[in-house]
Chain A
């Protein structure tokens, strides 16, 4: 259980970071005028991703024993 939670959080976090990064950089934008993130707030995904990975470490250590 503990392991599952941690691994899920790390994987989800890394995925969020990649998605956030891709969405924040306007790759594939049609015109030069289109310099903004694909959608407003995309960098928040990136931050959430980092948070999720760090949170995984915290949870792995802090979850009480019944989560074994």
Chain B
């Protein structure tokens, strides 16, 4: 059985947030929702400041607190390491969101149609219709409506219904076809590496043989499957700058 992991090379990441964009397009997430968020940090006082970046997907923890607290087993861990949410089972209690130390969960506060940047773009606009050919969002990646995994549960993509929780799925719909997650595929500098750590020949295994990885908030005991190389763990002296402004 494959065991999927992701390595984030902070020495390569340039903070461009292309991954954030790719994720939103692939998974149709709503306004204000960032399954893949890239922190942009500033350290020190001007003019002695330094910038650093830290991409933050769901860590797909092996000892996931979110899975433990879910009252109905909607949040579950797959054999291959993915931590997924069954949006058909989730009762919307948001307990997983608070149990997660990484802040990667997003609740669907409103219906999908409304959260698709409805207030930002007037989709009925005539000029826009020339470009879209009259196609009115919500655009849906059809792969997101399929069941995945041995368990055959509805787990892929975002924005299916109001009142459930969602988060990064490692693009389960792509992984099951043997493809990389959208963020990994898009990163222009290959700072994200995805693959099967159980197979010694996979690129990620090669990577991990030469670089010593560390994990985010190791002390929380969550055993994340996302590993970082280079850079250094965040600390409270870092100031987050350029936080995404979008609202739900």
Contact = CB atoms under 8 A, between A and B. Distances in A.
A41 interface: no
Q: Which of A31, A35, A37 lies at the interface centre, i.e. has the most chain B CB atoms within 10 A of its CB?
A: A35
A33 interface: yes
Contacts of A35: 67, 73, 76-77
For the complex, would chain A's binding face be called helix, strand, loop or mixed by DSSP majority?
A: loop
Interface of B: 67, 73, 76-79, 149-151
Q: Report whether over half of chain B's contact residues are helix, strand or loop; otherwise say mixed.
A: loop
A61 B240 CA distance: 66
Nearest to A24: B73
Given A35-B67, A35-B73, A35-B76, 8 more contacts: A31-B79, A32-B77, A32-B78, A32-B79, A33-B76, A33-B149, A33-B151, A35-B77
Contacts of B150: 33
A27 to B, nearest CB: 14
The 8 closest A-B pairs by CB, nearest first: A33-B79, A32-B77, A35-B73, A35-B76, A33-B78, A36-B73, A31-B79, A33-B151
17 contacts: A31-B79, A32-B77, A32-B78, A32-B79, A33-B76, A33-B77, A33-B78, A33-B79, A33-B149, A33-B150, A33-B151, A35-B67, A35-B73, A35-B76, A35-B77, A36-B73, A37-B73
B172 to A, nearest CB: 13
